[in-house]
């Protein structure tokens, strides 16, 4: 007699079977290639409620159960001031995925919404600080965020187009404000289109944009005026004539030829090629 699986077990099975190549293998590749997890780590897996962080939480939970490297996980949800509906959505999805979350509350939305300049920057900075602080209180030495392959590509192009600099997103980094804390990105090699396909296959609905300040956020089917989406749309168009363009951008940030650059910056210091010409 065939055993009936719980919903969360079906979801786990889809990760290791149907999406093994696209999701599980790429997740494991990032963990191994970038040495993201060490023995004895206690990692705060940060969940915002979106598809990326929820998938990351499931992957980290599955890995912690089967990994030869012993490490602990805490599934941390920060409520920056969500609406009741959004808060309930996060809790119900966590329950559906069988992820035991730890929730703490802040007033970040109120603080960010009351500033006239750069509310998104302030919100992001405050979020990161609160997550590090809470994770450290819980005895964690790392926080895990759900940035994926597509975020890496888009961030790189945005920095060049709108920031006038060649700047990428690295798989892990040490915190400058919280000693002994580190940030890791386990979805670094996982493509967003595969995350979307996985969530649709399992009939999952996650938060799209819970921010009270930006009403103009979109899901994968709607329009928006955000610069990030503008770059995503541009890359989508370029892929029609160059299917490997994302891979090329990703590989390029792993093979930077500094000798060909007239200037560069490292550890806060700027250098010119004439310095050692």
Q: Which two tokens stand for residue 58?
A: 């499931």
Which residues on neighbouring strands pair with residue 271, listed in sequence order? 264
**Distance between CA atoms of 79 and 109, rounded to whole angstroms?**
9
**Gap between the Cα atoms of 23 and 201, Å rounded:** 13
Length of the chain: 277
Q: What pLDDT score was predicted for residue 118?
A: 64
Residue 246 has a CB neighbour count (10 Å cut-off) of 20
Picking from 190, 244, 166, the residue whose alpha carbon sits closest to that of residue 22 is 190
| Inside any domain, residue 233 | yes
CB 224, CB 218: distance < 8 Å: yes
Rounded to an integer, the average pLDDT of 113-119 is 66
Evaluate whether residue 2 is within a structural domain. no
For the stretch 21-68, pLDDT in tens is 999 999 999 999 999 999 999 999 999 999 999 999 999 999 999 899
Determine the Cα–Cα distance for residues 257 and 82; give it in Å rounded to an integer.
45
H helix runs in 163-225, sequence order: 192-201
What does the pLDDT read at residue 107?
82
C-alpha span between 57 and 82 (Å, rounded): 20
Within a domain: residue 1? no
Q: Indicate whether 113 belongs to any domain.
A: yes
- Classify residue 218: in a domain, yes or no: yes
Residue at 41 is within a domain:
yes
pLDDT in tens, 255-271: 999 999 999 999 899 99
Predicted pLDDT at 220: 43
Q: How many domains does the chain have?
A: 1
Read off the pLDDT band of 155 (50, 70, 90).
very high
User: Which domain does 92 fall in, by range?
Assistant: 7-276
Residue 25's CATH number: 3.40.50.620
Report the share of the chain in percent with pLDDT over 70: 90
Predicted confidence (pLDDT) at residue 213 exceeds the cutoff of 60: no
Residue-level pLDDT at 126: 85
132 within domain boundaries: yes
């Amino acid at each position: 007699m065939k055993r009936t699986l719980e919903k969360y077990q079906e979801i786990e099975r889809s990760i290791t079977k149907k999406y093994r190549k696209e999701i599980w293998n790429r997740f494991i590749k990032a963990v191994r290639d970038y040495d993201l997890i060490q023995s004895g780590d206690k990692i705060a897996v940060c969940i915002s409620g979106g598809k990326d962080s929820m998938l990351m939480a499931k992957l980290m939970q599955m890995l912690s159960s089967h990994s030869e490297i012993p490490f602990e996980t805490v599934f941390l949800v920060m409520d920056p001031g969500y609406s009741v509906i959004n808060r309930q959505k996060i809790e119900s999805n966590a329950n559906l995925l069988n992820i035991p979350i730890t929730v703490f509350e802040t007033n970040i939305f109120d603080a960010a919404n009351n500033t006239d300049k750069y509310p998104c920057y302030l919100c992001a900075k405050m979020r990161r600080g609160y997550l590090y602080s809470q994770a450290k209180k819980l005895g964690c030495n790392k926080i895990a965020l759900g940035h994926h392959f597509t975020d890496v590509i888009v961030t790189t192009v945005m920095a060049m187009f709108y920031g006038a600099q060649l700047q990428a997103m690295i798989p892990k980094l040490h915190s400058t404000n919280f000693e002994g804390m580190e940030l890791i990105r386990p979805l670094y090699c996982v493509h967003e289109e595969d995350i979307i396909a996985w969530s649709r296959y399992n009939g999952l609905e996650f938060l799209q944009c819970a921010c009270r300040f930006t009403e103009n956020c979109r899901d994968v089917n709607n329009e928006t005026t955000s610069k990030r989406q503008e770059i995503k749309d541009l890359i989508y168009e370029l892929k029609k004539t160059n299917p490997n363009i994302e891979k090329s951008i990703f590989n390029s940030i792993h093979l930077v030829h500094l000798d060909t650059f007239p200037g560069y910056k490292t550890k806060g210091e700027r250098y010119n090629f004439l310095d050692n010409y």
